[in-house]
Amino acid sequence: MNSTDPHSGHTHWVIPGGYIPLESRGPEPKYTSRDELILLNTHADDTHVTLHVYYSDRPPVGPYHIQVPAQRLRCIRCNDLIDPEALPLETPFALTITADRPISVQYIQRYFGKDPRQANPLMAYPMDR
């Protein structure tokens, strides 16, 4: 992949299906039920990413600020997002992601409850502007 290719990603993404279960089984943090955000920056410069979290019953919260170093990926547990505030568990939410240069985004829901372990890759939708 050409790291300076302006087409190696998008600057705006939406993930509508966020939901972090309350229940976790097994030693933590390895087996903490979680939603994970994976951000890939293939460019030669660092990328600044901002998140906003949307809910069904109250105004959006954000921005959450994340730096992704040049030509690196970052895995973020949504459970760990804390500034400006923690996300409630057991609550549907949606994420919007804005980066100052094109990035690629993957979203994975890893659940370790009483049901069999699940790891569900979830679509992150690029938004062209």
Q: Is there a contact between 67 and 101 (Cβ–Cβ < 8 Å)?
A: no
- Is 115 a binding residue for another protein by CB under 8 A? The answer is no
CA neighbours closer than 13 Å in the CB half-sphere of residue 89: 12
Given the complex with another protein, which of 15 and 78 has the nearer CB atom?
78
Q: Which residues contact 71 (CB under 8 A, 6 or more apart)?
A: 3, 41, 42, 43, 44
- Binding part of the chain for another protein, among 1-9, 68-76, 87-95, 96-104 by CB under 8 A, reads 87-95
Given 73, 89, 94, 108, the residue binding another protein (CB under 8 A) = 89
Residue 26-65 contact track with another protein, rule CB under 8 A, x = bound: -xxx--x----------------------------x----
Structure tokens at 24: 């976790």
Integer Rg of the chain from CA? 15
32 vs 24, 91, 109, 118, CA distance in Å? Answer: 5, 16, 11, 12
CB 14 to another protein: min, Å: 23
Nearer to another protein by Cβ, of 90 and 128: the residue is 90
What are the residues binding another protein (CB under 8 A)?
22, 27-29, 32, 61, 77, 79-91
